[in-house]
Structure 1
Amino acid sequence: MMTNVLEKNGQKLTPIIICVAESTHYIVGMVDSLNNLTSVNQSKEVTVTSSLIEAKNYLRSYHIFTALLEFQSAYDEMCGLSAPEPCRQMVTF
């Protein structure tokens, strides 16, 4: 399986698409081993897209063909439960 783990300043970065429940946007960026989110390109801002297809196409434009897909939900926190571990899956496109 092809992976797209990149290095920047000695940190390993993995492409990620974050999907938030009940939201109409997807956050696209890179995540390091400490879970810090950064941009795919040299800008300081992550990218926000309006669909999963658009998020995948954005990564493809940087020759990235695999990414973590993370699903987030605020419902547990709204009910007073502790935040669960993120639900993540590596996807190839």
Structure 2
Amino acid sequence: MFACSAVRFAGRDGFEGAARYAGAQWTTVLTGTPLLVHGLACLDCEVEEMLPRYDHRIIIGRVRDVSVSPGPFPLVYWQGDYHSFARAAGSNGAV
């Protein structure tokens, strides 16, 4: 989960491809998956099953580790744009 300040990684600041991740600090988690150092939360999972549905895949995973960091509000996609959770909930009290 990204902090609201990480809108760049969601592709909303005009950066594409590798440029979206340039200058970011990364580490690896238990399974070897790369993790953005300043992320708010991470579920480190191993893939158990992949279920094809139309042009998507539903991935069923076994959680191996969880990390949560204190920080700013999370970045959420709501009504066609990215917001902080507080702003999205503030308009009518529901998300």
TM-score by length of 2: 0.24
- Say which one has the larger Rg: 2
